[in-house]
Structure 1
Amino acid sequence: MSGEEANSMLQSVMKHHHMQMPWHNFTPDNSNTPAKRATLKEKATLVGRVGIMLLSYGTGAWRVRDSMNTIARELNISCSADVGLVSIEYTCVDEEGHGYTQALSLASTGVNTDKLSEMEQFVMDFNKGGSDLSSEQIHEILDEIERKPGHYTAIMAGLAAASACCAFVFLLGGGLVEMLCSFVGAGFGNYIRRKMIERRITLLACVSVSVAVACIFYLIAFKSLVAIMHVSLQHEAGYIGAMLFVIPGFPFITSGLDIAKLDMRSGLERMMYAIMIITVATLVGWVVAMAVHLKPVNFIPLDLGVIPMMLLRIPASFVGVFGFSIMFNSTIEMATWAGIIGAIANTLRLELVDLTNIPAGAAAFTAALVAGLLASLIKGYPRISLTVPSIVIMVPGLYMYRAVYNIGVASINVGATWLTEAALIVMFLPLGLITARILTDKKWRYKD
């Protein structure tokens, strides 16, 4: 890269509040020196870039550190990293005892399972002689992964959310009216959120506006059905389902996994990030509901037998998980595998609750354990890209919203009950995945 090109790139990245790192400036011009014989600064920069890219695609601290260690070992250096939700501070030391410390940060966080898969494949390939490439060549490979476009447009993302929330509402007990209205509300809501994200609008604005849009379009669809088909007003309860596409399942689950590995900083930051989104989403939903007189009443019973209900829950669970996976930019094949796992695990959870006396939290643990065990049998994809989408549909968004709604109308006892039940389920879900990882992953099983 010429000096003029480097200066132009530097001026471009400096325009952002979170300045982007000019990675190519760390490598000498026209250098063909293999990375394993490069300077410590060049090696450490490669290690850091791999880590921050993985972090930006939504994976947990343990996987980020493990990948950084893999790159460092191949480059004959040692690495110690402290990983958070949007930042990494790390030190690399070479064989002569020289050290290089760097701090990297992200403007925001998100989930991109396709790029996560690409990065994990890159790390695996790098471990097989990748250090023979020059630093510049390695950065160019990473550039290609960064520039890879998403698989789905905003309209497709809206349809994915619409399908997922439509299925979600059925699994919560809603009927055709609630499903149809949730499809409309969630579709428009996630479409708006996606367009706002593309314009780099700040997180809480995206959450607030998309939830409000989802509730309003649910109301429009519902009132239209009331006027045209004279459906019961009790079907208004499904508006909760229209906003469930904002549930931050990835950070909720990965926070538990990180805490289990004593990555307390990352785990607590992810937990607070998820709680922040849930709080804002439920408060906005509550305000809109109060403004337009929507109430989270119980769904009208479907009066289906045990077998018909189970047979309907299987495809509904598949569609819900498949839709969420598409929202995470999974490939169709990856989303299909996640959907199959979710269909089995979530149906098992619901049947356990309905047919036995097992508490909802214990059923969630069992389902998450099954999901983790099934995911361990599928090779070729990052495990987290299969397990988390498959159990996101189990995150009790309905309970969380009802907790906030009841607290907001001063029904503290009722709100506290819903909040307690939600907390128990949220705690049991990662415990199920943790147990599965301990049983099936030798590398993850040990503390060192």
Structure 2
Amino acid sequence: MEENEPQIRRHHISASHHMKIQWKEFFKSPDDTLIKDTTLVEKGSLVGRIGIMLLECGTGAWRVRDSMNTVARALDITCSVDIGLISIEYTCFDINNKSYSQTLTLPTTEVNMNKLNKMEQFIRQFEKNNDRLSIGAIHHRLNEIERHTATYPVIIAALSAGLACGSFIFLLGGGLPEMICTFFGALVGNYVRGEMSKRKITLVAKIAVGVAISCAVYFLCFMLGQKLLGWNHDHAYGYIGAMLYVIPGFPFITSGLDMSKLDMRSGLERLAYAILVIMTATMVGWGVAISLHLTPGTMPKLNLTPTVLTVCRVIASFCGVFGFSVMFNAKPQMALVAALIGAIANTLRLSLVDYNHVPAALAAFIGSLLAGLLASFVREKVGFPRIAITVPAIVIMVPGLYMYRAVFNFGITNINVGAYWIMNALMIVVALPIGLLTARILTDAKWRHAD
């Protein structure tokens, strides 16, 4: 026992609820050892570290599995993996009938498209050059990716939320008063949520507090505008826009994509997470609205010609998608590409509904399909992850207003009206991932096969 005590003290045991893994401890070979010459435990641990880093980016199960398989093949081992929202269970096998199993978990889920882009670049380089890579070089590169792909500062995320939600409320029919109040409401609310995230406050609490503050700030801005500028009371109905930054676009869309590939565990867990976020946000929004005597209503009509309205929608869609992309921690070039695609796809969707009387769900499918096809074309030119430019481009199509109206009416036991809004929302929510899925099947041979 005495001989082992000094060694025990040298180990760092995590005090976190989700204990952090010290990856270096899995590798007993010297740092200059080529990865191809390491043990099964070391190879399997590398596969697991890469998988959990990808899952931490917020990408779907198919991409995580594909990347882990790519690394495993390069290391001449077989990998079988089961993927959830925040956990991975996997087993690696070698040709000597040996196996190595591991379970890895994350404390929470987030979205980081810059990190995903760096990880995909690493996977491609690893596939080509693994014969020449040492243990030390690989872990140095992975540590670099973790250090240099941190999320944006809280103030940048807050400004992005203000830009995204201010644009979103215009696309929902709001005018300048609604956009101003929404901008400040979303900015302050998301800033507070970001500060709570830095302090590792749990999910439900930070969403509830952020949404409540956003609604309250919107109402204060509206009251100030009403007093100083004589705003009509109908402008108060735009308060729903101030909370739209909490829409869980990535889990919603990737849940549909995962289930389409029969990754049911990941798909259902992501869907449950998205529902939890939406229910928390809408219930808090409902409670604040009841307290302030606000009800969902019709915002003052915009007196714009079809041409001017279409141009404004292109600009608002661009700004909204750009803001959401930055909230998803995409680098500016990636956000710009997603914004251009989103501006085209979302404007087409809205025009189909308003000028061609196409049902909203069908229009959402067409807009999502176009976004997926454009992303597939652009990806060949710029090399960004497909999901990093498709999901932000269609998040702005998620019917957050419909969901809120449904919950509000259910809350006051107006069941018929609530059912009307929830069915409209469900039709659109289902149509969006189907559009992306169709585009992926048409343009990606690897995706459309099950093997």
**TM-score band, normalised by the shorter chain?**
over 0.9
The residue correspondences of 1:361-440 to structure 2 (distance < 5 A) are 361-379=361-379, 380-440=383-443
Residue of structure 2 in register with 1:187 after alignment:
187
Q: 1:8 to 1:20 in 2, by over 3 A?
A: farther
Code of the residue aligned with 1:442 in structure 2: it is: A
**Alpha carbons 2:115, 2:149 under 8 Å: kept:** no
Code of the residue aligned with 1:288 in structure 2: it is: V
Code of the residue aligned with 2:443 in structure 1: it is: T
Query: After superposition, what is the alpha-carbon deviation per residue over 1:70-100, rounded to whole angstroms, capped at 9, x for unaligned?
Result: 0000000000000010000001000112111
Residue of structure 1 in register with 2:309 after alignment:
309
Residue of structure 2 in register with 1:110 after alignment:
110
**Alpha carbons 1:42, 1:135 under 8 Å: kept:** no
Code of the residue aligned with 1:94 in structure 2: it is: D
Query: After superposition, what is the alpha-carbon deviation per residue over 1:170-222, rounded to whole angstroms, capped at 9, x for unaligned?
Result: 00000111000000100001111111111111111110000001001001100
Query: What do you get for the CA RMSD once the two structures are aligned?
Result: 1.5
TM-aligned CA deviation for residue 137 of structure 1 = 2.4
**Alpha carbons 2:29, 2:38 under 8 Å: kept:** no
Code of the residue aligned with 1:273 in structure 2: it is: Y
SS at match of 1:32: coil
**Runs of 5+ in structure 1 lacking a partner?**
none
The separation in 2 between residues aligned to 1:181 and 1:378, in whole angstroms, is: 35
The separation in 2 between residues aligned to 1:75 and 1:238, in whole angstroms, is: 55
TM-aligned CA deviation for residue 243 of structure 1 = 0.1
Residue of structure 2 in register with 1:167 after alignment:
167
Q: 1:131 to 1:270 in 2, by over 3 A?
A: farther
TM-aligned CA deviation for residue 135 of structure 1 = 2.3
Judge which range, 123-132 or 103-112, deviates more: 123-132
Residue of structure 2 in register with 1:16 after alignment:
16
**Runs of 5+ in structure 2 lacking a partner?**
none
Residue of structure 1 in register with 2:92 after alignment:
92
**Alpha carbons 1:166, 1:182 under 8 Å: kept:** yes
SS at match of 2:128: coil
Q: 1:159 to 1:95 in 2, by over 3 A?
A: same
TM-aligned CA deviation for residue 131 of structure 1 = 4.3
**Alpha carbons 1:59, 1:254 under 8 Å: kept:** yes
The residue correspondences of 1:43-192 to structure 2 (distance < 5 A) are 43-150=43-150, 152-192=152-192
TM-aligned CA deviation for residue 31 of structure 1 = 3.9
TM-aligned CA deviation for residue 14 of structure 1 = 1.3
Identity of aligned residues (%): 55
Residue of structure 1 in register with 2:219 after alignment:
219
**Alpha carbons 1:151, 1:331 under 8 Å: kept:** no
Paired positions, count: 445
The separation in 1 between residues aligned to 2:393 and 2:359, in whole angstroms, is: 20
Query: After superposition, what is the alpha-carbon deviation per residue over 1:271-295, rounded to whole angstroms, capped at 9, x for unaligned?
Result: 0000000000000000011111111
TM-aligned CA deviation for residue 9 of structure 1 = 8.0
> Normalising by structure 1, what TM-score?
0.97
Query: After superposition, what is the alpha-carbon deviation per residue over 1:207-246, rounded to whole angstroms, capped at 9, x for unaligned?
Result: 0000001001001100000111111111111100000000
Residue of structure 1 in register with 2:236 after alignment:
236
Code of the residue aligned with 1:421 in structure 2: it is: N
The separation in 2 between residues aligned to 1:282 and 1:357, in whole angstroms, is: 29
The separation in 1 between residues aligned to 2:7 and 2:351, in whole angstroms, is: 60
Residue of structure 2 in register with 1:268 after alignment:
268
The separation in 2 between residues aligned to 1:396 and 1:291, in whole angstroms, is: 24
Code of the residue aligned with 1:74 in structure 2: it is: A
**Alpha carbons 1:258, 1:266 under 8 Å: kept:** yes
**Alpha carbons 1:6, 1:25 under 8 Å: kept:** no
SS at match of 1:400: helix
Q: 1:92 to 1:408 in 2, by over 3 A?
A: same
Residue of structure 1 in register with 2:444 after alignment:
441
The separation in 2 between residues aligned to 1:6 and 1:230, in whole angstroms, is: 73
